[in-house]
Structure 1
Amino acid sequence: CYNGVNSRELKHITKELEVNAPASEAWELYRNLGLINLIDRKLTNIFESTEVLKGDGGVGTVVKLTFVPAGNSSYTEKFTVIDDQRRVKETKGLEGDCLAIGCSVQILEYEIIEKSQNSSIIKSTISYAVKEEFQAKDPKPSIQVVEAIVQISKNEVWELYRNLGLFELAANELKNVVQSLQVLKGDGGVGTVVKTTFVAGTSTSTKYPL
Structure 2
Amino acid sequence: MGLITYDMEVVTPIPPTRMFKAFVFDSDKIFPKILPHAFESIEVIEGDGGPGTIKKITFGEASHFKYAKHRVDAPDQEKLTYSYGWIEGDALMNIFEKISYDIKIEAGPEGGSICKNRSKYYATGDIQFTEEQIKEGKEKVLGLFKALEGYLLANPNAC
TM range (shorter): 0.7 to 0.9
Q: 1:72 to 1:11 in 2, by over 3 A?
A: closer
Q: 1:71 to 1:52 in 2, by over 3 A?
A: farther
**Which structure 2 residue ranges, 5 or more long, are not aligned?**
none
Paired position in structure 1 for 2:16: 23
Amino acid at match of 1:57: G
Per-residue CA deviations over 1:166-186 (Å, capped at 9, x if unaligned) read 6xx5xxxxxxxxxxxxxxxxx
Q: 1:60 to 1:144 in 2, by over 3 A?
A: same
Percentage identity across aligned positions?
A: 19
Amino acid at match of 1:135: I
**Which structure 1 residue ranges, 5 or more long, are not aligned?**
170-210
What is the aligned residue count?
155
Q: Could you say what secondary structure the match of 2:127 adopts?
A: helix
**Could you state the TM-score of these two structures normalised by the residue count of structure 1?**
0.62
Paired position in structure 1 for 2:57: 65
2: CA distance, partners of 1:72 / 1:52: 19
State which of 4, 18, 36 in structure 2 corresponds to 1:44.
36
- State the shift of 1:17 in Å: 1.4
- State the shift of 1:106 in Å: 0.9
Q: Could you say what secondary structure the match of 2:51 adopts?
A: coil
1: CA distance, partners of 2:81 / 2:40: 27
Per-residue CA deviations over 1:159-203 (Å, capped at 9, x if unaligned) read 44xx4x16xx5xxxxxxxxxxxxxxxxxxxxxxxxxxxxxxxxxx
State which of 148, 152, 155 in structure 2 corresponds to 1:157.
152
1: CA distance, partners of 2:16 / 2:64: 36
Per-residue CA deviations over 1:103-157 (Å, capped at 9, x if unaligned) read 123101221111147311112221112122x525778794444333211222233
Paired position in structure 1 for 2:115: 122
